[in-house]
């Protein structure tokens, strides 16, 4: 299986360590993975703001770079959701349809496609609060949610169970949105900032040293809120822990 690695724009620009961990982890697991050069973005920022026409060039670039891969993996739920549900500014030929169907978020890919549960190289002896992004939860179904009457399950926890020494703390409003929301974070900065502050306080009160998530966009926002409030919380992407990051 030829796998293409798509690195979201904000990870490429500001959190390269998340892209590096994702690539190294996939390689460690024996995946035939390629990072095509020339990547920018998936088109989500424009499309989520209503301007799907403005994302045409971005989507075309994405589709061109990832044509022909058996699967595309991205360490970001909201980007994957955009590609699956909304990447429609460009003509929907067979290649684009295939690409949209074969794009996976990293946790899904590890859990459902590779079916890996053991990460013997990984050890993370810290108290961790898990933050599932809203898209990961309610669109990609990484885990059950508090709103629906269903059997509890959690793909990220299934994976993290294979990490030595990790301990989890449970915030009071575990699956409340943290308030990032893409351009919402600047258009509605007061609400967004407040939601972020409430989120990091909830995790801190539960005793978390780290907040771990499959979505760096949420973490970027929460980290910004925690730093402004002078809180010592730390933030880490799930790929980094699974790849054996020690802190």
Partner 1 sequence: MSPETHEPVDHAAAAARFIADAPHLAFHDTRLWELRQKRDGQMHGVPEWETLRDLASAIKEHTLSRLAEYLEQFEAQAIANGVQVHWARDGAEHNAIVLRILRENNAKTLVKSKSMLTEECEMSPFLAQHGITITETDLGERIQQLDDEPPSHIVVPAVHKLRTDVARVFARRIGGDPENTDAHYLAEHCRVTTRPLMLDADAGLTGANFLVAETGAMVVCTNEGNADLSANLPPLHIVSVGIEKLIPRQADLGVFVRLLSRSALGSPITQYTSHFRGARDGGRMHIVLVDNGRSKRLGQAEFWTSLKCIRCGACMNTCPVYRRSGGLSYGAVYSGPIGAIINPAYDPARYAALPFASTLNGSCTQVCPVRINIHEQLYAWRRIIAAGGLLPGKKRLVMRLAGVVLGSPALYRLSTALARTAVRILPRGLLYTRLNGWGRDRELPTPPSESFASWHARRKKAG
Looking at residues 28 to 47 of the shown chain, list those that interact with partner 1 (rule: CB under 8 A): 35, 37-41, 43, 45-46
Q: Can you tell me which residue has the tokens 């990460």?
A: 119
Record the tokens describing residue 183, joined without a space.
Answer: 């351009």
Record the tokens describing residue 171, joined without a space.
Answer: 């915030």
120 Cβ contact partners less than 8 Å away, ≥ 6 residues apart: 162
* Residue 168 binds partner 1, judged by CB under 8 A: no
Return the closest-CA partner of residue 169 out of 212, 138, 134.
212
Which is nearer to partner 1, 162 or 201 (by Cβ)?
A: 201
Give the whole-angstrom CA distance, residue 109 versus residue 127. 26
Give the whole-angstrom CA distance, residue 229 versus residue 177. 19
Site string for partner 1, 194-213 (x = CB under 8 A): xxxxx---------------
Site string for partner 1, 61-90 (x = CB under 8 A): x------------------------x----
Give the whole-angstrom CA distance, residue 17 versus residue 7. 11
- The CB-of-19 to partner 1 minimum distance in angstroms stands at 4
Site string for partner 1, 95-134 (x = CB under 8 A): ---------------------------------------x
Q: Tell me if 143 sits within 8 A of 154, measured CB to CB.
A: yes
- The CB-of-162 to partner 1 minimum distance in angstroms stands at 25
Query: According to CB under 8 A, which one of 94, 148, 151, 152 is a site residue for partner 1?
Result: 148
Return the closest-CA partner of residue 240 out of 78, 121, 109.
121
Return the closest-CA partner of residue 201 out of 173, 182, 220, 180.
173
* Residue 91 binds partner 1, judged by CB under 8 A: no
Query: According to CB under 8 A, which one of 4, 58, 72, 102 is a site residue for partner 1?
Result: 58
* Residue 54 binds partner 1, judged by CB under 8 A: yes
- The CB-of-42 to partner 1 minimum distance in angstroms stands at 9
């Amino acid at each position: 299986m030829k796998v293409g690695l798509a690195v979201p724009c904000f990870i490429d620009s500001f959190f390269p360590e998340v892209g590096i961990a994702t690539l190294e982890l996939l390689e460690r697991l024996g995946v035939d993975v390629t990072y095509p050069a020339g990547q920018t973005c998936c088109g989500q920022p424009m499309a989520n703001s209503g301007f799907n026409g403005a994302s045409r060039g971005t989507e075309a670039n994405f589709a061109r770079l990832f044509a022909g891969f058996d699967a595309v993996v991205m360490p970001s739920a909201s980007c994957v959701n955009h590609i699956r549900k909304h990447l429609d500014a460009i003509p929907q030929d067979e290649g684009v349809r295939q690409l949209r169907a074969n794009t996976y978020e990293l946790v899904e890919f590890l859990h459902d496609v590779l079916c890996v549960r053991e990460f013997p190289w990984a050890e993370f002896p810290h108290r961790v609060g898990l933050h599932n992004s809203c898209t990961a939860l309610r669109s990609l179904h990484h885990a059950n949610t508090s709103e629906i009457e269903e059997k509890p399950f959690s793909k990220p926890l299934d994976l993290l169970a294979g990490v030595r020494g990790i301990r989890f703390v449970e915030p009071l409003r575990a699956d409340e949105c943290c308030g990032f929301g893409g351009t919402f974070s600047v258009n509605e900065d007061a609400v967004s900032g407040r939601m972020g502050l409430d989120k990091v306080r909830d995790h801190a009160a539960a005793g978390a040293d780290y907040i771990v998530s499959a979505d760096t966009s949420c973490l970027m926002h929460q980290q910004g809120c925690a730093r402004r409030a002078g809180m010592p919380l730390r933030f880490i992407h799930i790929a980094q822990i699974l790849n054996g990051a020690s802190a």
